[in-house]
Chain A
Amino acid sequence: MMICDAERRLFRIMGDCLLAVLCIVFFPAPQAGAQVNNSDPYRPAVWYSSDEIPERGPALSPLPAVPEIDPGIELARISHREMNKLSRHKLVVAMRLGKELDLFPGLSPASFAREDAAPGTTRDPSSISGLADMIQLGAASFEDEKIVEEPEDWNENVRQETIADPLEPINRVFFTFNDKLYFWVFKPVARGYRFVIPEPFRVGFRNMFTNFAMPIRAVNCLLQGKIRGFGRELLRFVVNSTVGFLGFGDVASTAMHLEPQDEDFGQTLGFYGAGPGIFIEWPILGPSSIRGTFGLAGDFFADPLTYLVPKTKDSIAVRGGDKVNRLSLSIGDYEALKKSAIDPYVAVRNAYFQYRQAKIEK
């Protein structure tokens, strides 16, 4: 069922692409608001075959009015719309970069969308809402969050807002495996650790690991053009590594309101328009997606631990320590999620998707 859907979607996308390419090759883009009748420059007034010479014959009775839809114009319009969408996406990315760098002071996504829908232009309404949606998707903060959710947003499009999952049977197996791993191994270890180490130390260790992973956040800020975020990360690192005693205390957050930027490579990929692909539940690592997996790989290369602890065995020990330390501070979260869910697998899959989506939009 799921595979069928994914295939259908893939074929549809392929079909659309083919159509768009054909259209671009064979048909020029129409002028905005082009009418099929007189204003169309490519349409001859009368059709003749090449060897036929017009003669003054008996006057023909006028043909009954037929709604004139020129398939060529129709196709060209569709291709034009599709190309528009593509270039619009690039535009949105450029906008967001510009916004970050303050290139357009006073230009908000809302004003941009309004300008786009200005009266007098005869753009395809679907592409306008497409752009507005994309800008909504690029909503930077609470100020850009959609207030009114139209019934269309939730009534019919259940599949739209969730992630494709053709590997569901395998994923479910790994989900059960991870679930058992958590309850039988990680949770008891984390509880034992929590019993031995007082909370302030565990928070301190977490801060240290967070401070140490600064390059991941800084690099991804830079890749997304978030120059201010990049600067904040550097400043945080300097402050926390000195005053915060090697990052043990997060002085930058508590005293200077410099919170960590929470950027990673998966978000960078999303920022440039990469979709999540399909859902993947990795054994041990947990829920992810195609994009998330590439993201993890990218973060691995930006992580100083990779270079400072090159031996696999040591690296697993250090990273495992980080995980257990973090887990000891959030025991109960997974249990609560599981307790409130009717189908914990679907709940986790959906929460992963929404959580990542929200982070990318930030």
Chain B
Amino acid sequence: MHRKMTLQLVLCVILVAAFSLPAFAGEPTEVIRKTTDKIIGIVKDPALQGLEKKKERDKLIRAAAEEIFDQEEMSRRTLAQHWRKRTPEEKKEFMELFEDLLEKTYIDRVEGYSGEKVTYDGERVQGNYALVKVDIMTKQGAKIPVIYRMKKTEKGWLVYDLSIEGVSLVNNYRSQFNSIIVSSSFKELLKKLRAKVGKE
């Protein structure tokens, strides 16, 4: 009788351990967490406050963000069916401009950081792809759900899309770029991108 109970207990422990394993944050979540903490650290760093330090701060944030974004994958998904028709030079120029635009957007958003709480709400992995769910709690008590879409490459897990409240960034840019390419041309898109990031 006693032995049976011990066995049951052991089984229980094993089962609980087995089922709670996925609850521990996996590798993709850790990648996001590390970078997020790093960027929050930069924004909050008292040595980097003030307008005169903006350039330095931006450089650090940019470097931290570059580590986890898969620029080529993002560009390919954003241009979608137009990607194949582009020459390698065009692709390269587009990738650089798009990266600048994303970083600019990202830095503007991060600069507005004022102590929002970030919680990691779950992760799902399927082969080389993963979703990481993050909740951002604003100070006014609103919860903003963010989902990172990631892909495993030789450089580790990299982000290729993120959606905020169900709005995918790649999807949004894809519709804008498609509309410009269809109604005018790819050249026009590059021109507009250059103007946007201030590389005229």
**Which residues of A are at the interface with B, using a C-beta cutoff of 8 A?**
1, 142-143, 145, 147-149, 154-156, 158, 161-162, 199, 203, 250, 253-254, 259, 329, 332, 336, 339-343, 346-347, 349-351, 354-355, 357-359, 361
A147 to B108, Cβ gap below 8 A?
Answer: no
* B contacts with A: majority SS: helix
A158 to B178, Cβ gap below 8 A?
Answer: yes
Complex Cα gap A361–B130 (Å): 20
Residue in A closest to B179 when the chains form the complex, CB atoms? A346
B80 to A156, Cβ gap below 8 A?
Answer: yes
**Chain B nearest CB: distance from A13 CB in Å?**
22
Q: Which residues of A contact B192 (CB under 8 A)?
A: 342-343
Option from A162, A199, A340, A351 in Cβ contact (under 8 Å) with B140: A199
27 contacts between A and B (CB under 8 A): A1-B182, A1-B183, A142-B122, A142-B131, A142-B147, A145-B131, A147-B129, A148-B129, A149-B77, A154-B170, A155-B80, A156-B80, A254-B141, A259-B143, A336-B105, A336-B108, A339-B108, A342-B101, A342-B176, A343-B180, A346-B175, A346-B176, A350-B172, A350-B175, A350-B176, A355-B167, A358-B163
A347 to B166, Cβ gap below 8 A?
Answer: no
Chain A CB count within 10 A is highest, among B101, B124, B170, for B124
Residue in A closest to B127 when the chains form the complex, CB atoms? A148
- B112 CB–A CB distance under 8 Å: yes
Residue in A closest to B143 when the chains form the complex, CB atoms? A259
Complex Cα gap A83–B4 (Å): 57
Q: Which residues of B contact A355 (CB under 8 A)?
A: 165-167
Within 8 A of A (CB), among B133-147: 133, 140-141, 143, 147
Q: Which residues of B contact A332 (CB under 8 A)?
A: 112
Residue in A closest to B98 when the chains form the complex, CB atoms? A342
Given A158-B174, A347-B172, residue A142 in contact with residue B124 (CB < 8 A)? yes
Complex Cα gap A281–B166 (Å): 21
Q: Could you mark each residue 120-132 of chain B with 1 if its beta carbon is under 8 Å from any beta carbon of chain A, else 0?
A: 0110111101110
**Chain B nearest CB: distance from A170 CB in Å?**
16
Complex Cα gap A161–B173 (Å): 12
Complex Cα gap A347–B175 (Å): 7
**Chain B nearest CB: distance from A244 CB in Å?**
13
**8 more CB-based (< 8 A) A-B contacts, given A149-B149, A253-B141, A354-B172:** A147-B125, A154-B171, A156-B81, A336-B109, A346-B179, A347-B172, A347-B176, A350-B172
Number of chain B residues close to chain A: CB under 8 A: 46
A158 to B172, Cβ gap below 8 A?
Answer: no
Within 8 A of A (CB), among B154-178: 163, 165-168, 170-178
Q: Which residues of B contact A1 (CB under 8 A)?
A: 182-183
B80 to A147, Cβ gap below 8 A?
Answer: no
B130 to A147, Cβ gap below 8 A?
Answer: yes
Residue in B closest to A357 when the chains form the complex, CB atoms? B166
Q: Which residues of A contact B141 (CB under 8 A)?
A: 203, 250, 253-254
- B193 CB–A CB distance under 8 Å: yes
Complex Cα gap A154–B173 (Å): 12
Option from A145, A351, A357, A359 in Cβ contact (under 8 Å) with B172: A351
B175 to A142, Cβ gap below 8 A?
Answer: no
Q: State the 8 A-B residue pairs at the shortest beta-carbon distance, nearest first.
A: A358-B166, A340-B105, A147-B126, A350-B175, A354-B167, A148-B129, A346-B176, A343-B176
B171 to A350, Cβ gap below 8 A?
Answer: yes
Complex Cα gap A361–B177 (Å): 26
Complex Cα gap A342–B173 (Å): 8
